[in-house]
Amino acid sequence: MGRLIRDMILPRLDRGRLGLLPDSVVLSDIRGPIAYTTDSFVVSPIFFPGGNIGSLAVHGTCNDLACSGARPMFLSLAMILEEGFPLEKLETILQSVADAADAAGVEVVTGDTKVVPKGSADGVFINTSGIGRLEAREIPSAARIAEGDEILVSGPVGNHGMSVMLSRADFSFDFDLESDSASVWPAVERLLELGPGLKFVRDPTRGGLAATLNEIAAMTGKEVLIEETAVPLDKAVIAASEMLGIDPLQAANEGKIVAVVEKGLGERGLELLRDCPIAHGAALIGKITPGTRPRVIMNTRIGGARVVAEPSGELLPRIC
Amino acid sequence: MNPEYEPLTARALAGEIKDLCASVTQTVRFMEVCGTHTMAIHSAGLKSFFPENLKLVSGPGCPVCVTEKRFIDHAILLARHYDACLITFGDLVRVPGTFGSLATLRAEGGRVRVVYSPIQAVEIALEEAPRPAVLLGVGFETTVPTVAATLMSALRKNVDNLFVLSAFKTIHPPLRILAAKEDLHGFLLPGHVSAIIGSDCYSYLPADFGKPGVVAGFEPLDILLAIRDLIRLTVEGFPQIVNDYTRVVRANGNPAARGVTEEVLEPSDASWRGLGVIPGSGLTLKGPYYRFDAAAHLPVEVPQAEDDPRCKCAAILTGSLTPDKCGLFGRGCTPEDPVGPCMVSSEGTCAAYYKYGAA
């Protein structure tokens, strides 16, 4: 175990603190309130187009911090390895952790590694917890959402979920499609310029855009209205979703945000995101309406309207 | 069509539908036979275009939904008794049987391989040999030719551990039963199935039952156009079969595909969930292909299966009830924890109502 840490982990992740291997790390350089979060990663398959469990574990936790208006700063990294997990795969994962952390501007400052007998875990599980410095003057919260507020999404949706689905063993289609896994802090940071005009931020991970919008409706008790033609989708995602019979609005994202901004500030929000590298294709997709029921309605491409329901169940391909 | 013009065309068609409906006092009820139509109608929000007196009900055209619980039991028993590997389409995995679903079987260590095309079955059988590999044969005229072609290839390669558990079904026998129902005024006919069987073969609908049928494609405009034509034929009192999906469906269908099916399978009686046993509505392996018949060559005792008496799938499949009128809908029965197959299948009526709302 000592060798694993010395030879594989520290050379990749030590940025000055980790190598001292203290029982716990002392962080004295944060001023003001912090945000603190944790998440566990058990993705299958472990490697997918555009990333792996390592990059995902960094981005997932950083993005939870970012959505609270906090700049991600420090991470812990705990790995549970199944006995016999190939070292070269572990090296690739650790390198992805390092690259993702560097790109996100966070430092892995403490960690843990355990090996469990074969069959007790599926390859590798990772938990990360994160600390971020609160930079939002008013913490984004659903409680501040009001009628007329506008809804932005930071780019095309469904790429992560769809590419993971496609990389699962039983599919052999070749789509030019990658996970969007990335830290969303640069997008959140730009939107903080809106001050109190930024009401709510969420990363639409599991359950995709549909789950996040339904969450907004449920938390506010208000109706959410979106336009099908305004929701950005990559062509490969549309093609894959038609093949598999899976609604791209229900497919997970790992590098996108949904933001609710004050009425009239939607266009300004888009301008702020314009030069942000992780927010290409950002769009204004809808608004909070005076509807009587907490639900999500979508005006369809053809001019009809339908409910966007809360996703549930295992995603499976259709039969005919 | 340029997507920009779609909403305009849709509005024009919706206007015609409204005007035609306004010219009759009664409620007009049409059945969309095919599950893919059910999904497309909900996904595009087409029901928001329709006037009050136009109702669309879903039919028995979702292969998973009309498959009996006992079929799942049969498959699981084959896996248990013969250590068979089950080859299936994804939709079937979570359909509950008497002793769990295929997902349960897999969790217990059983072998369940999900395929997108039955052609993969030969390859899988070779990988799994000598263990028997059983392809779960669920589907209509569209799916069957591919399975038949797979078996022709298996016969040539002399693959001796591949079997098919057949619950294949054909659309005409149940359609004749439904056509006799007085509260159904016309049929939105399936696009994919018709690509194989053609549009001429539905002539009994107007001839014997005085009801119109329109073959429709799956784009929102295809469906609106077909519904407008159905209403026009109904209002004008001039029932006939119209093919609105001519870019795919020919009057005589695809004789080559039908030939492959006829080479390998022959009509037999089949049991439908919600409709019971319908003579001549199933397909059984024949001649040299009988050797692939799982039911014949891997015998197991399959007990009668009891459906949950609260589950209304049977009434929903025959258009007598909409899902929101079932006491279990959204409460005891959800896509995550389904009771009936209409909630499991991605093309099931209950799943469509649940996913896209009843509106």
Do B277 and B335 fall within a single domain? no
Q: What is the pLDDT of residues B161-175, one digit of tens each?
A: 999 999 999 999 999
B-chain residues near A312 (CB < 8 A) = 334-336
Q: What is the DSSP string of A11-61?
A: HHH-SSSGGG--SS-------S-EEEEEEEE--SSSEETTEEHHHHHHHHH
User: Tokens for A312?
Assistant: 């549930």
How far apart (Å, rounded) are the C-alpha atoms in residues A118 and A84?
Answer: 7
Does the beta carbon of B10 lie under 8 angstroms from any beta carbon of chain A?
yes
Residue A318: its pLDDT value, please? 45
On the question of pLDDT at A138 being above 90, the answer is no
Do B197 and B330 fall within a single domain? no
Query: What's the total number of domains in chain B?
Result: 2
Does the beta carbon of B250 lie under 8 angstroms from any beta carbon of chain A?
no
CB contact under 8 A, B47 and A304: yes
Residue B353: its pLDDT value, please? 85
Q: How confident is the model at residue A319 (pLDDT cuts 50, 70, 90)?
A: very low
Q: What is the pLDDT of residues A15-60, one digit of tens each?
A: 888 888 778 899 987 888 999 999 999 988 899 989 999 999 999 9
CB contact under 8 A, A320 and B192: yes
How far apart (Å, rounded) are the C-alpha atoms in residues B134 and B113?
Answer: 10
On the question of pLDDT at A186 being above 90, the answer is yes
How far apart (Å, rounded) are the C-alpha atoms in residues B37 and B41?
Answer: 6
Which residue, B276, B300, B324, sits at the end of a domain? B300
| Strand ordering across the sheet containing A124-134 | A34-41, A124-134, A70-82, A107-116
Of chain B residues 88-117, which have a CB less than 8 A from chain A? 89-94, 103, 113-116
Domain span holding position B342: 313-352
Do B232 and B347 fall within a single domain? no
A-chain residues near B137 (CB < 8 A) = none
**Segment B116-139 mean pLDDT:** 94
CATH number of the A2-134 domain: 3.30.1330.10
B-chain residues near A298 (CB < 8 A) = 45
Please choose, from the candidates A172, A164, A135, A127, the residue with its C-alpha nearest in 3D space to the C-alpha of residue A30.
A135
A302 min Cα distance to partner chain B (Å): 4
Residue A314: its pLDDT value, please? 53
Do B110 and B247 fall within a single domain? yes
**Residues with Cβ within 8 Å of residue A277, at least 6 apart in sequence:** A186
Per-residue b or e along A141-157, where b marks 16 or more CB atoms closer than 10 Å to that residue's CB: ebebbeeebbbbbbbbb
CB contact under 8 A, B45 and A319: no
Report the CATH superfamily, name and number, of domain A142-307: PurM-like C-terminal domain (3.90.650.10)
Do B232 and B330 fall within a single domain? no
B-chain residues near A170 (CB < 8 A) = 113-116
Residue B358: its pLDDT value, please? 60
Residue A41: its pLDDT value, please? 93
Please choose, from the candidates A309, A201, A168, A290, the residue with its C-alpha nearest in 3D space to the C-alpha of residue A247.
A309
On the question of pLDDT at B93 being above 70, the answer is yes
Phi/psi at B347 (5° precision): -110, 10
The model's pTM is 0.83
Do B261 and B332 fall within a single domain? no
Does the beta carbon of A44 lie under 8 angstroms from any beta carbon of chain B?
no
Please choose, from the candidates A37, A36, A21, the residue with its C-alpha nearest in 3D space to the C-alpha of residue A111.
A21
Percent of chain B with pLDDT over 90: 72
Do B130 and B259 fall within a single domain? yes
Q: Is residue B244 part of a domain?
A: yes
CB contact under 8 A, B355 and A295: no
Residue B204: exposed, middle, or buried by beta-carbon count in 10 A (0-12, 13-18, 19+)?
A: middle
Q: How far is CA A93 from the centre of its chain?
A: 18
B56 close to B50: Cβ distance less than 8 angstroms: yes
Do B218 and B335 fall within a single domain? no
Do B317 and B296 fall within a single domain? no
CB contact under 8 A, B7 and A302: yes
Do B204 and B329 fall within a single domain? no
Q: How confident is the model at residue A171 (pLDDT cuts 50, 70, 90)?
A: low
The mean predicted confidence, pLDDT, of chain B is 92
Amino acid in position A62: C
Q: Which domain CATH number covers B237?
A: 3.40.50.11740
Closest CB to B91: pick one of A302, A312, A316: A316
**Segment B236-259 mean pLDDT:** 96
Amino acid in position A221: G
Among all residues of chain B, which has the CA nearest to that of A244?
B116
Q: Is residue B209 part of a domain?
A: yes
Residue A173: its pLDDT value, please? 63
| Cα–Cα distance list, A128 to A25, A74, A101, A166, B333 (Å) | 15, 10, 12, 26, 36
Beta-strand pair B186-189/B28-34: parallel
A vs B: CB pairs below 8 A: 114
Q: What is the pLDDT of residues B25-52, one digit of tens each?
A: 999 999 999 989 998 999 899 999 999 9
Phi/psi at B319 (5° precision): 75, 15
Domain ranges of chain A: 2-134, 142-307
| Strand ordering across the sheet containing B112-114 | B112-114, B85-88, B133-137, B162-166
Q: What is the pLDDT of residues A54-105, one digit of tens each?
A: 999 999 999 999 999 999 999 999 999 999 999 999 999 999 999 999 999 9
